[in-house]
Structure 1
């Protein structure tokens, strides 16, 4: 094909290919009869380079998207972890509350059983007291009737015209102590019934607290499932059951490990604080030693200056005294 073309066309194609090869950093010469092969190879190379660039750009976009998704998943994973830990704490709290409720139910049932027995005993005593009071009332009424009707064989005193006083019927009067006992027992029955009502209210309150804890646990489970779904293929739905099932045992070990890590971290912080305090104390001691040294030197310098001043003052006083003596002697001589 190259041989059938005009020489100037071949030269144009050669120059164009030469420019493209120079652009591709290929300075080696080639023959004109290799122009078709080189054109084909250059076209394939350009297409491959363009495809590689587009794939690289797409790869960078996918990497950025993957990084963004991982960045979005990280806080969600942390939130899921915290929710799972909180869910485990709620489970443990519910187990403790259930054990406490069972224990209190047993205690309350025992107390209620004792109270019911006491109520039955008190009701029995109350019934016996009422029967005794009714019997005494019947005997008292019967005595009154017999007292009104009198005895058939009663004798009359002819002198006075009055009946002889016969032996009266002894009327049993209800003992006030018995009445007080009945009132006390009725009051005790009322108190026991009130205590029973209070305990029943307490049981209902514990049941309500249990329901509230159940609702909180269900909300946590639903929130965990929602976050799992938001993570997409990062988590599978069937993992939720495994995580919730295994997290109860793992959470205790994790909690202990976290506690140990926190203690170790606190020990490291204390060591750092200790080193900082020692360094600060040594620095402060060094500063104080420098200050003491400076003050000592300053004190010695001031003492020397004071001594020099004292010597100077003594010298001045001495000179003044001698001067006064001279003036006095001169004055005496003049007189």
Structure 2
């Protein structure tokens, strides 16, 4: 049975721990009318003359302790993500959006239609919108239900909390990409036995296995945007408009379009998945080349922009109230 988001955050706080600020609850029998407690009375350490001075905590945390705390945060975020329904529904829709169109294109492909890789190579970009929805909901659910304060009380280091959320959501999105891409490729091979769909080159592997990398980058974009805006509707509107019509409208503008299009993040992610993409001509001017990046530099550029958005979200979250 799946839990609601507040229940998931309660499990999160239990995994992370209440930290050094936790205070033990009073005994049930220690009310105002309780009698004297039998047994010796404990003397505070500060009142004993032979008490040793308390050791001062180190100002620099040990790396092992930092890793343990971050590991607990990862476990907490994994519980939160797996305990809600929306990630599972998004995963199902993403797999269907990739397997369905790929199978349809392969089924209607004829031997005279040209290489089938040219038709199905970029279909991995279709479920990017669903992955963005998953990431935004994971990032803004705590603000929607008011449980973000509980999370920050359990783990006061907001930077680590946001990074842990980004790592978990990106890993889950990459897993969705792998689960969707390889079955889609296998089904396409089954439906189009006459087509050459063997993974015979790096471009073919990039079009299939690279879906996981693209979805991970999109997830970081979604988490960063959601944490930055703290509003699910606003973050979803911004990302979906940018992915569906925003970059397309910019690319057809008369003067600005050719100069701006090569720098658009989701255009570069689609370029990474497309089979047959050639490297830009290094002999031409850097700004005169319409396609500035090859497939792998395009992925690296989009990942860098995603990290910039996430870093901006961390800075803003550290400066404002929860």
Which of the pair has more CA radius of gyration? Answer: 1
**TM tier, smaller:** under 0.3
Structure with the largest fraction of helix: 1
